[in-house]
Amino acid sequence: MKKFDEGFLEIFDSNPVGMIISNLETTKFQYVNKIFQSSFDYKKSEVIGKTAIDLNLIGPETNEKVLSLLKEQGFAKDIEVLGRKKSGETFWTLASVQVVAMNDVKLAITSFLNISERKKTEGKLSSANEELAFQNEEKGKRADELTIANKELAFQNEEKGKRAAELDTANKELAFQNGEKEKRAAELDTANKELSESESLIRILNQGLERKVTERTEELELTNRNIFDYKFALDEACIVAATDQKGTIQYVNDNFCKISKYSREELMGRDHRVINSDHHSKEFIRDLWVTIANGRVWRGEMKNKAKDGTLYWVDTTIVPFLGNDGKPNKYLAIRSDITQRKNVEENIIKLNEELEGKVIERTLELTELLMSEKELNELKSRFVSMASHEFRTPLTAILSSISLIDSYHKDEQKEKRDKHIGRIRSSVRNLVGILNEFLSLDKLEEGKVEIYRETFDLHEFSLDIIEEVNGILKQGQRIDFSHYGEK
């Protein structure tokens, strides 16, 4: 059962007493240990999902009695139950049941000990007591007979010899009976000691089992809480999907449904081809499957298509889960939406291409005009020098902002992403303004570009530069910054 920890099941399997885990509401068996299987001659697969009544393991009256105790007080302790094996053979058990809650489901954990030998000993003890009572009765009879014999001896002196012989025989018989009585008493004492030792052992085993069950239950509850917290955090921050070995979708979270615009019911039982945008080559997809099929983690960026036809980009990590044979039996895909970043990158690439085209086009025009005059040649040199300097500053800001946006994936970092997107837009506007200035022939011929003065926050400007440069620092390098005066 996947919901029980392997270590927890190992404790149950190695327990010296029979163990059963069943659903309290349905009474169906969820797990049985090896002692149960050997005691009832059933295999585990024959009993899982069935009830004790289905298998005729115990009588209906006993079953109703145990269920009534569990509902009233949450446990049933030291109940003698007549069990029935698969062959129909019956044997006595001493059972205890404890109700525990696990994953919001109430489970009944039953432990039992085979007490058939003890019952046999008790039977022998009962027989010995009956025999002892019989012997006492016989002793009384013999005493009565002895009294009669004594009376008869008083009245019949002539029969003294015969009666003396009879009396001697009666005395011997009485001595024999007393000896038998002592033997039965010794047997009874031994049986009582064995019974006391068995009960002590059962109490010790039950106490140890109850302690282990309580400790393990607390550990499982803590583990379940931790797993729930991790899953909640993952579902809140990421786009999550789980598939089987063949890639069939078995689980998607709300973020997956939101970005793909498919409902959970539409996705269950299908594979990821439902969101395939045909953007990636067959070699790309084949490399992905070869990687995860060999038990390795795959990371990359993928372009997918939503139900309404819109395209979106996700940064993807696919983790294979390995079975006992060392081969993947399921895959977990964790994604984050990078559509905004990819759109910004595409826009910047297009903008750079347009700017480069305009610069080249205008440079060619200027070159043709300046070929005939030396002054124009000098103007070209100044133009190239000034353009290189003026373009480099905003382009550097654009590239550094793109690099920082790439590291901000989480929703709570949206403010930082918006800040750098704003810087990119501002730098692009500056580039357009600079380009317009350079493309003005009148100003170029005058050999100057108009300068605009404006105030700025030196402290904030310095922090922006530090944030940009931090991304390209080498190991061992750092930036020390101090500021005096008002910000």
Residues 239 and 336: beta-carbon distance below 8 Å:
yes
Residue 339 or 134, more confident: 339
Residue 395 or 170, more confident: 170
pLDDT value of position 15: 83
Residue showing tokens 């005395």:
171
Q: 368 falls in which pLDDT band (50, 70, 90)?
A: confident
Contacts (Cβ under 8 Å, ≥6 apart) of 218: none
CA distance linking residue 53 with residue 32, whole number of Å: 16
Average pLDDT over residues 265-284: 93
CATH homologous superfamily of domain 240-337? PAS domain (3.30.450.20)
Residue showing tokens 């099929």:
293
Average pLDDT over residues 83-96: 93
CA distance linking residue 425 with residue 422, whole number of Å: 5
Q: What is the DSSP letter of 474?
A: P
Residues 391 and 431: beta-carbon distance below 8 Å:
yes
Q: 450 falls in which pLDDT band (50, 70, 90)?
A: low
Residue 119 or 226, more confident: 119
Residue showing tokens 């709570």:
412
Residue showing tokens 């020098």:
385
Stretch among 106-115, 191-200, 253-262, 364-373 having the lowest mean pLDDT? 364-373
Residues 90 and 81: beta-carbon distance below 8 Å:
no
Q: Distance of CA 16 to CAs 113, 209, 302, 342, Å?
A: 9, 10, 55, 62
Residue 471 or 31, more confident: 31
Residues 297 and 317: beta-carbon distance below 8 Å:
yes
Residue 355 or 315, more confident: 315
CATH homologous superfamily of domain 6-114? PAS domain (3.30.450.20)
Both tokens of 370, joined, read 């300046």
Pairs from 202-206 (Cβ < 8 Å, separation ≥ 24):
202/78, 202/94, 202/113, 205/16, 205/17, 205/113, 206/77, 206/96, 206/111
CA distance linking residue 386 with residue 449, whole number of Å: 10
Q: Distance of CA 415 to CAs 87, 238, 276, 290, 465, Å?
A: 72, 18, 31, 39, 18
Q: Distance of CA 219 to CAs 37, 222, 367, Å?
A: 27, 5, 79
User: What does pTM read for this prediction?
Assistant: 0.36
Residue 208 or 23, more confident: 23
CA nearest neighbour of 304 among 262, 243, 268: 262
CA nearest neighbour of 69 among 99, 100, 34, 26: 99
CB atoms within 10 A of CB 245: 14
Q: 241 falls in which pLDDT band (50, 70, 90)?
A: very high
Residue 122 or 467, more confident: 122
CA distance linking residue 372 with residue 395, whole number of Å: 33
Q: What is the mean pLDDT of the chain?
A: 82
pLDDT value of position 449: 53
pLDDT value of position 110: 92
Both tokens of 189, joined, read 């004492």
Stretch among 3-7, 36-40, 54-58, 180-184 having the lowest mean pLDDT? 3-7
pLDDT value of position 285: 94
CA distance linking residue 150 with residue 160, whole number of Å: 10
CA distance linking residue 155 with residue 288, whole number of Å: 119
CA nearest neighbour of 185 among 140, 141, 136, 116: 136
Both tokens of 432, joined, read 């357009």
Q: Given a cut of 50, is residue 63 above it in pLDDT?
A: yes
Q: 6 falls in which pLDDT band (50, 70, 90)?
A: confident
pLDDT value of position 2: 45
Average pLDDT over residues 34-62: 92
Q: Given a cut of 60, is residue 376 above it in pLDDT?
A: no
Q: Distance between terminal CA atoms of the chain?
A: 63
Average pLDDT over residues 428-457: 63
pLDDT value of position 209: 81
Q: Given a cut of 90, is residue 352 above it in pLDDT?
A: no
Stretch among 131-140, 208-217, 362-371 having the lowest mean pLDDT? 362-371
Residues 396 and 464: beta-carbon distance below 8 Å:
no
CA distance linking residue 289 with residue 275, whole number of Å: 16
CA nearest neighbour of 275 among 244, 238, 245, 249: 249
Both tokens of 41, joined, read 């001659």
Q: What does residue 340 show for φ and ψ, rounded to 5 degrees?
A: -60, -45
